[in-house]
Structure 1
Amino acid sequence: MFVSFVGEEPKKPEANRFTPVVLTPEGSLNEPMVFEVLKDGTAYIIERHGRLKKFDPVTQTVSLIATIPVFTGNEQGLVGFTLDPNFAKNHWIYLYYALPTESKMVLTRWDLVNDKLVESSRKVLLEIPVDREGTSHTGGGMVWDANGNLYLTVGNNSGNSYVAQTDERPGRSKWDDQRGAANTNDLRGKILRIHPEPNGTAGAAPYTIPDGNLFPKDTDASDRDASVVRHTDRSKTRPEIYVMGIRNAWRPSLDSKTGWLYWGEIGPDADKDTENAPRGYDEFNQARKPGFFGWPYFIGDNYAYPIFDFATNKPGPKLDPNKPVNRSPNNTGLTELPPAQPAFIYYPYAVSEKFPLVGSSSRAAIGGPIYRRSDFRNPKRPYPAYYEGKWLAADLSRFWIMAIAMDANGNYESMERFAPDYHPRQPIDLKFGPDGDLYVLEYGGNTSLSAVEARLVRIEYNAGNRKPVVQASASKKGGALPLTVSLSSAGTKDYDGDALKYEWKVAPAGGAPRVFTTANPTLTFDKAGVYTATLTATDAKGAKNSQSVRIIAGNEPPVVTLALAGNSRFFFPNKPINYQVAVSDKEDGTLANGQINPAQVAMSIDYVSEGFDLVDVQMGHQRVDAATQFAVARTLMGKSDCNTCHAINAKAVGPSFTDIANKYKADPTAVDRLVKKIREGGSGVWGETAMPAHPTVSQHEARTITNYILNITNKAISTLPVQGTFTPSIPEGESGNGFYILRAAYTDRPTKVPSHTAESMVVLRRPQLIPTDADVIQGGAVRDQLDEFTFLTTKPNSYIGYKQIDLTGIRQIEFRPNWHLYDIYTGGEVEIRLDSPTGPLLGTAEVKEEYFNINKMPGGRDSFWGREPRNDKNAKTTPARVIIQETSGKHDLYFVFKSAKASPKDALFPLATINLYE
């Protein structure tokens, strides 16, 4: 039921109410581009190499319907597909593709009858001559309006460049977008709007021009808006054009309520502003009426490109966005163009100041649908009113979907992650199906991985009862016979609060299961083998969910320990740390007695930046091999867009990592040059394709990635000794807020059953505690923020606590306040206590109101601001440091805030950091 209340703001739905359901089997798609869904859940999907496929929701299979011969170079191929609005009756589909032998893109209509493409039914509606060698960007997105008009996005078909393509030199027309995107007499770089005619053939008009496009369909333009077009020369305009000045528009959509057009558009690769050009931006655009959207003269918020003189290699003048002109010798259309429209949303490679939530790194704005509940008749799972009128727009390279809200006038208001627990792998098309569910087509990691990772996903919204969330675990992942294992359902929960019924089925491969109906059963294995223990939890309404764990009986897992001399939680820069790895295995022997070869133990030490997710480097069942040594590098690459353009052994958009390693393996300067290229971008080494800049990848992270790539062909497992010393330091360009990961791993030798892999990992952090991140905050102390500073406002008798802090070697603790609003604080004391807020006292520090008092300076506050930056106030404070009682080992550590003179309502001091010293 769809319910709304006048004056009541719809509530944001919980993220766990969205469930991604993978529809297509693994390996069934390869470079999918566009899909369409029928009412019964059937989906048709096109692939770039000319294949039209069908997903059958009954059999859960994908079958090939037809293969159309297409040209597939330079991003071309079968790139566009849509169903006729009356498909259920006329069976018409529309395909947009590159002809195999002619340099043309064609829009064609076919009959699709009983899942067979009728060859004789093919009708060509539109032909667009294109260049091929050295060009990019095809478009191919299509959408219908309520009047049966078809919108088609057409790429600019130009040579790729870091900046605007305006090369007017003879023989360089493919690098002059003024011949296409800014040409009123050319269909490239446009969004077209036509009305396909039922009986249209080559002899009769295959389509007509609807009223209201950018240029008139006849010479009478007296009734047209003069601000849209100033000229009436029909011979220099194409009436099919609805929007021009487009670089590479992807998935267009229409708001069924307003009729406004929306699309995503991919921009050029420049990563910073220069005198030659502004930096590149991707855009999400909104067209409330026909118009010119700037390319190649403007980008983003109408940032102007100088008309670059390629003959003299100098930038020229910038155009006026209100009166742009196209004076290129390659222009066959009007000279004077409509006013340039600024982008609705725009963002660069770096962090966007105006739209920070979009993130940073590689970008590929796709677009997506506007949600209107009225578009669906009796949907099974209607999306909530919270999304009414919002634009669900995706970025292919950043793996997100944003819900973009607009105000009553259609202006941008805000954005937020849609279904933040869902991380699509390169979403290339998304739309609502007739059933009201959102469907997302995932292209996969890159061209070489698409055949494995590509999939169609349905995002179901559950407004009612939710399936239980199941967590299954075992006390042991394996062992020698007889093996006794306790199974655990700890972590299993039901978001609706329903009581759960538990069922465990434990079975060997192909064998009959043993069934247990308790939450946490214990069982014994007497026969060797690989067993699967599956926990199914069922709620009171019958909804169920399952999770499995694997148990290997007949092989005792190895035991790996990594011991450090000294503190096991913190590192101190430039102070050496001694480590030693021990490995023992019931069947293999031990590292100490020489039965286990040290070369088979992977030992690695890596510094990682703040925010790195430790879960991503844990191995699970992964066998120790040469790549284990570079787990951190592979995790960094997995979080970036590296795998979008590169594969290990196969050429994708860019060269394979193996080719890179072979090219540079004997070059001693390669590391520094490749680090620079990762961060700043580059082109020309491996062909015309430019590598985008990654300014948010730190120098150290780029070096970590580079070392992995250059060693990708190295077959040795261990590069660090199993016993040794290392000296931690803060890598160049790093803030010091990161941490060191020390990892040791070993895979035992297989017996009659598979091997086990075990690892030991130690994480060493900088010796600093952040008060606002404390495990316990009690007694009125609150997290607070002022300007760019975050701190803890302490109250009398409040306290904070940290779990299991290693105090070995820690002799001093320093408390640094941030006296931003010093007038409201009284000062106070900090008691340092062990294991509880009332535990043994290790020391007391007095935090006094000592700072650089700007009010007491000659000339007062104004003279201070005239000489010092405002954000330097925290540096003027004097920290309080105290020597503590010597303690070793891990303990819970508490800081209790006291004051004899303050009232319970007073604030004692704003605590910014707690630093630990030897």
Structure 2
Amino acid sequence: MPEENRFVKTVLVNDLNEPMEVAVANDGRVFFTERSGNLSVYNTRTKAHQLVHRFDVPTKQGHGVQGITLDPNFATNHWLYVYYSPQFEKDPFYNLSRFVVKDDNTLDLASEKVLFTVPSLAEPGSHHGGSLAFDKEGNLYLSTGDHTNPFPSNGYAPIDARPDHLGADARATAANTNDLRGKILRVRPQPDGTYTIPEGNLFPKGTAQTRPEIYTMGLRNPYRIALNPKSSVLYWGEIGPDAGKDSTLGPRGYDEFNQAKKAGNFGWPLFIGNSQPYAANDFATNVIGPRFDPNDPINNSPKSNGLQHLPPVNPAMIWYPYGVSKEFPELGQGGRSAMAGEFYTYDKNSASKTKFPEYYDGALFIFDWMRNWVMAVRIDKNDNYVRTEPFMAGNGDFRRPIDQAFGKDGVMYMLEYGSVYGADNDDARLVKIEYNTGNRAPTVKANVVDSVALAIHNSRSYLTSDGQNAPMAHEAVGQAPLRVKFSGRGTDLDDDDRIVSYEWLFDGKTVGAKQPNATYTYTKPGVYKAILRATDQAGLVGADTIMVKVGNAKPEVAITTPDNKSFYWENKPFTYAVNVTDKEDGKIDPKRIKVYSEYSAQPRSIPTGAAQQGHQDLASIGNGSIGKTLMASSDCKACHTIDKPSVGPTFLAVADRYKGQAGSVERLAKKIIEGGGGSWSKDHLMSAHPQIPAQDAQEMVKYIFSLTDARKQKVMPLQGSLTLNEHKPEDARGQYTLVASYTDKGDKVVGPVTSTEVVALRNAKVKTINADSYVGFSRFGNRLGAGNHKSYFLLKGIDMTTIKSLTYDYSSLNKDGDIEVRLDSYAGPVVSRAPYKATGSWQTNNQVTGTLDKAFTGRHDVYVVVMKRDKPNEGIIQLNSIQFNQN
């Protein structure tokens, strides 16, 4: 298998607005559409990007410019096909049109030939499909969605026959043999702009109550299609319904990757997945009938004008739910949006040095928009499915792929939609992915290091969890003369290659030491780039840059206190004073110092570790909680943002509506798991997430609620006492934060510089489930199971000032032992030991206190180790919490 890290991804065009489909000409031009109306081209030879044409299209309810493809003879006839929705007066529709591309890469609008139109709906406008492709015989395929509202059916079969429920019955479209929607259509374009019907479509021309253009029917939203260039077998990704579990109405929702070796019916809305049947459902009476028969599916909807007896149903090639698939576990879990890309054909005669390797010859590349992965599907010579392999797993940095095609150069060109659905994303882009078969340049990382040097130039000093200085600064700021120590490291990715030399370029002309570590003194004010270059045996160079700003010292901001900087205790205020010094400003204007405090019951960060406190930029405060971490790894961010409109409500809007309501955490957690709709929009259904445990879903809701806590910020004096009385007994993760910042007056060269100091106080009683890490213990929901001999918890960066003892809440079935505390290392000396006795039951708790053997100050990593030296010593103790005491 080819080396994954030899694939190189390059952004060609950035900041697109909902990109849709891409088509690559043999001459290197890459055409692509944006739903908002743009048809653009990128020339891979000239690297020029230009607008071909902007279509005047409606964009409500998902309409706009969708698919694009090039005629097989594009090099000579310059024909380009577009599927788009023109402006409409009454009922929306789509045109499948052919245009001529002129020599200046613009459209000849007078050349438009409308092959046919496809009706749409203004309300709702769901499921548009719109993918275009040619087979080797010159037949043109178009995918169309079912244009059906999924809300009344709650993610099951949308078969609502009631006449006043428009767009709620997919039997009127996808299962209607006399309708073009919910299909993949196949026609043979003619030179005059008309089309003929090729042999082998689902219904012969002239068959009553059918449309001869239909190749496959029974489709929900076949968003992207692909054709095997060798066999003309059709493949597509099918975006499925949202039900999170099986019920009396039928099976849970599945996405599908489908294959049609010949024309056929693929079941929707009567079947899903591997032909799993739904039940007949009378929406007027709520009477649930028998399951549909895949051998004789019947469409008796009054909204259909097609045949009642439909062709037998074909099962999906690949089908998968929200949770882990039993049949296809490699597809993962989470949200679903299945899409087919394109087959790769290896050309051994191609001179391209960056073409994909022969290993991928004949592979179909598929992707899931929600899960953000790309995979290669393997089929045999008869188009039988063999397996699915991950592609660029872990290093693709995909931004929600939405289409993909190969150029004649063997390079993959991909459209990435960007982070959030329904938004004009900054990271929506056209990229290329190449395979580097040759030597690769080294990767280089440079840093500013050494706390003494950092103190000299007044930049920030960073501490690791054990209190030692760490090379974390990527910028140096200070007055002239400024002496800076640099360090660097280079890595060569090629096994048969190595780095042969380093060099530093300090001020645009001065070359420093011929090694990765160097020291340089800047004597004049200015903004400089310190560049570390590494050269390998083949002469390829990698580089990294450090910004050095000379002329303005960074202000020093300090929050001083005789109190502890990690914890709060009941009925004990936090006494503080803010001190600021700045070499250039001299006497500090108190009005320029900003001090504020806030309390959060579910903080964006737990105040453990020096990296989360001390001197830092305001933007770095709050770098993660359990809920935030879970949210970041979920698909929620595809449809929701904190404060910008998208397909779903903003998190701030959710918090404003529900925070403080009794049972809202549990209710919204259930909504996350089960999905649903109607609370915010009639046009979008929230996906179910049955794979998320209830406890995790509640943590996600708590994180959402915490986002409004910033509105509770209080302006504080430069010195005084912070009253710590906002927390509640149940706020196990509650946090008080005190922030002080100062922006100096700056100078003409460097400009203003800001420094910030942060003190974050957590409850002195720490639940062990909230420890930074634990070894030898297992998590069970919201608690930890019993640990073995030498199991431990780690709490990072704890201020031990004023701490004299620790009290443990524990239970132990039948084993006595000791609880030890070690600082800064698991192998460090024991500074406290508390013997404990068995409680006789895991449900019976007791408390024991261990005293520190001396007074400690400053921040330390606290290792709490459980010990029982004689055997048996497994499952010895369950620790529930640790209380830090000042007495």
Classify the TM-score, shorter chain: 0.7 to 0.9
In structure 1, the residue matched to 2:78 is 91
CA separation in 1, counterparts of 2:342 and 2:491?
Answer: 33
In structure 2, the residue matched to 1:181 is 174
Q: Which amino acid aligns with 1:154?
A: T
In structure 2, the residue matched to 1:106 is 95
Q: Which amino acid aligns with 1:392?
A: F
Measured after TM superposition, the shift of residue 768 of structure 1 is: 7.1
CA separation in 1, counterparts of 2:365 and 2:24?
Answer: 18
Q: Is the CA contact (8 Å cut-off) linking 2:160 and 2:169 kept in structure 1?
A: yes
- Pick from 538, 543, 546 the counterpart of residue 546 of structure 1: 543
Q: Which amino acid aligns with 1:586?
A: D
2:594 is equivalent to residue 595 of structure 1: no
2:182 is equivalent to residue 192 of structure 1: no
Q: Is the CA contact (8 Å cut-off) linking 1:283 and 1:347 kept in structure 2?
A: yes
- Pick from 738, 743, 748 the counterpart of residue 743 of structure 2: 748
2:18 is equivalent to residue 19 of structure 1: no
CA separation in 2, counterparts of 1:128 and 1:94?
Answer: 15
Q: Which moved more, 1:435-444 or 1:484-493?
A: 484-493
Q: Which moved more, 1:526-535 or 1:49-58?
A: 526-535
1:618 to 1:132, Cα distance in 2 relative to 1, 3 A: farther
Measured after TM superposition, the shift of residue 291 of structure 1 is: 2.7
In structure 2, the residue matched to 1:73 is 60
- Pick from 111, 114, 117 the counterpart of residue 124 of structure 1: 114
In structure 1, the residue matched to 2:472 is none
Q: Which moved more, 1:185-194 or 1:385-394?
A: 385-394
In structure 1, the residue matched to 2:466 is none
CA separation in 2, counterparts of 1:741 and 1:422?
Answer: 39
Identity of aligned residues (%): 33
2:51 is equivalent to residue 64 of structure 1: yes
Measured after TM superposition, the shift of residue 315 of structure 1 is: 3.3
How is 1:827-866 mapped onto 2 (pairs within 5 angstroms)?
840=829
CA separation in 2, counterparts of 1:35 and 1:691?
Answer: 28
CA separation in 1, counterparts of 2:64 and 2:124?
Answer: 15
Q: Which moved more, 1:649-658 or 1:141-150?
A: 649-658
Q: Which amino acid aligns with 1:426?
A: R
In structure 1, the residue matched to 2:162 is 169
1:747 to 1:800, Cα distance in 2 relative to 1, 3 A: same
Gaps of 5+ in 2: 450-458, 460-474
How is 1:310-349 mapped onto 2 (pairs within 5 angstroms)?
310-349=283-322
1:302 to 1:617, Cα distance in 2 relative to 1, 3 A: farther
Measured after TM superposition, the shift of residue 729 of structure 1 is: 8.9
Q: Is the CA contact (8 Å cut-off) linking 1:506 and 1:513 kept in structure 2?
A: yes
The 3-state SS of whatever aligns with 2:703 is: helix
In structure 2, the residue matched to 1:584 is 580
Measured after TM superposition, the shift of residue 171 of structure 1 is: 3.9
CA separation in 2, counterparts of 1:620 and 1:290?
Answer: 66
Measured after TM superposition, the shift of residue 261 of structure 1 is: 3.1
In structure 1, the residue matched to 2:647 is 653
CA separation in 2, counterparts of 1:828 and 1:601?
Answer: 45
In structure 1, the residue matched to 2:533 is 536
CA separation in 2, counterparts of 1:741 and 1:540?
Answer: 55
In structure 2, the residue matched to 1:5 is none
1:282 to 1:89, Cα distance in 2 relative to 1, 3 A: same
Q: Which amino acid aligns with 1:328?
A: S
- Pick from 425, 444, 450 the counterpart of residue 470 of structure 1: 444
- Pick from 13, 16, 37 the counterpart of residue 24 of structure 2: 37
Q: Is the CA contact (8 Å cut-off) linking 2:743 and 2:752 kept in structure 1?
A: no
Measured after TM superposition, the shift of residue 36 of structure 1 is: 1.8
Q: Which moved more, 1:877-886 or 1:397-406?
A: 877-886
In structure 1, the residue matched to 2:471 is none
- Pick from 120, 143, 159 the counterpart of residue 153 of structure 1: 143
CA separation in 2, counterparts of 1:913 and 1:258?
Answer: 63
Give the structure-2-normalised TM-score. 0.76
The 3-state SS of whatever aligns with 2:33 is: strand
Gaps of 5+ in 1: 1-9, 219-233, 775-781, 820-826, 853-874, 902-906
How is 1:729-744 mapped onto 2 (pairs within 5 angstroms)?
744=739
Q: Which amino acid aligns with 2:72?
A: P
CA separation in 2, counterparts of 1:613 and 1:422?
Answer: 32
How is 1:713-862 mapped onto 2 (pairs within 5 angstroms)?
723=722, 725=724, 744=739, 746=741, 748-752=743-747, 753-758=751-756, 760=758, 766-767=767-768, 840=829
Measured after TM superposition, the shift of residue 326 of structure 1 is: 0.7
In structure 2, the residue matched to 1:494 is 492
CA separation in 1, counterparts of 2:615 and 2:683?
Answer: 37
Q: Which amino acid aligns with 2:8?
A: T
The 3-state SS of whatever aligns with 1:466 is: coil
CA separation in 2, counterparts of 1:586 and 1:784?
Answer: 49
Measured after TM superposition, the shift of residue 423 of structure 1 is: 2.5
- Pick from 424, 434, 448 the counterpart of residue 450 of structure 1: 424
Measured after TM superposition, the shift of residue 504 of structure 1 is: 3.9
In structure 2, the residue matched to 1:392 is 365
Q: Which has the higher strand share?
A: 2
CA separation in 1, counterparts of 2:380 and 2:759?
Answer: 50
Q: Is the CA contact (8 Å cut-off) linking 1:700 and 1:731 kept in structure 2?
A: no
Measured after TM superposition, the shift of residue 166 of structure 1 is: 1.2
- Provide the aligned length of Structure 1 versus Structure 2: 827
1:908 to 1:639, Cα distance in 2 relative to 1, 3 A: closer
CA separation in 1, counterparts of 2:402 and 2:275?
Answer: 27
How is 1:896-907 mapped onto 2 (pairs within 5 angstroms)?
none
Cα shift readout 1:319-373 (whole Å, capped 9, x = no counterpart):
1233321111122222222333343444444565665665555432233234453
Q: Is the CA contact (8 Å cut-off) linking 1:578 and 1:726 kept in structure 2?
A: no
1:546 to 1:898, Cα distance in 2 relative to 1, 3 A: same
CA separation in 1, counterparts of 2:635 and 2:32?
Answer: 25
Cα shift readout 1:50-107 (whole Å, capped 9, x = no counterpart):
3211113355342111223333332111101011222222222111111323633221
In structure 2, the residue matched to 1:46 is 33
Q: Is the CA contact (8 Å cut-off) linking 2:809 and 2:845 kept in structure 1?
A: no
Cα shift readout 1:510-540 (whole Å, capped 9, x = no counterpart):
xx65544543333334444443434333322
In structure 2, the residue matched to 1:703 is 702
Q: Is the CA contact (8 Å cut-off) linking 2:84 and 2:96 kept in structure 1?
A: yes
The 3-state SS of whatever aligns with 1:465 is: coil
Cα shift readout 1:154-190 (whole Å, capped 9, x = no counterpart):
1112224233321211243422110110112222101
In structure 2, the residue matched to 1:214 is 202
Measured after TM superposition, the shift of residue 298 of structure 1 is: 2.2
CA separation in 2, counterparts of 1:717 and 1:382?
Answer: 60
Q: Is the CA contact (8 Å cut-off) linking 2:149 and 2:168 kept in structure 1?
A: yes
RMSD: 5.4
1:356 to 1:577, Cα distance in 2 relative to 1, 3 A: farther
Q: Which amino acid aligns with 1:201?
A: G
1:275 to 1:562, Cα distance in 2 relative to 1, 3 A: farther
Q: Is the CA contact (8 Å cut-off) linking 1:604 and 1:629 kept in structure 2?
A: no
CA separation in 1, counterparts of 2:409 and 2:608?
Answer: 37
1:817 to 1:668, Cα distance in 2 relative to 1, 3 A: closer
The 3-state SS of whatever aligns with 1:470 is: strand
In structure 1, the residue matched to 2:455 is none
CA separation in 2, counterparts of 1:180 and 1:531?
Answer: 64
In structure 1, the residue matched to 2:464 is none
Q: Which amino acid aligns with 1:128?
A: V
- Pick from 678, 682, 701 the counterpart of residue 688 of structure 1: 682
The 3-state SS of whatever aligns with 2:224 is: coil
Q: Is the CA contact (8 Å cut-off) linking 2:478 and 2:553 kept in structure 1?
A: yes
The 3-state SS of whatever aligns with 2:590 is: coil
1:44 to 1:182, Cα distance in 2 relative to 1, 3 A: same
1:612 to 1:849, Cα distance in 2 relative to 1, 3 A: closer
Q: Which amino acid aligns with 1:143?
A: A
1:909 to 1:644, Cα distance in 2 relative to 1, 3 A: closer
The 3-state SS of whatever aligns with 1:698 is: helix
In structure 2, the residue matched to 1:430 is 404
CA separation in 2, counterparts of 1:322 and 1:613?
Answer: 62
CA separation in 2, counterparts of 1:116 and 1:534?
Answer: 43
1:639 to 1:770, Cα distance in 2 relative to 1, 3 A: closer
Give the structure-1-normalised TM-score. 0.74
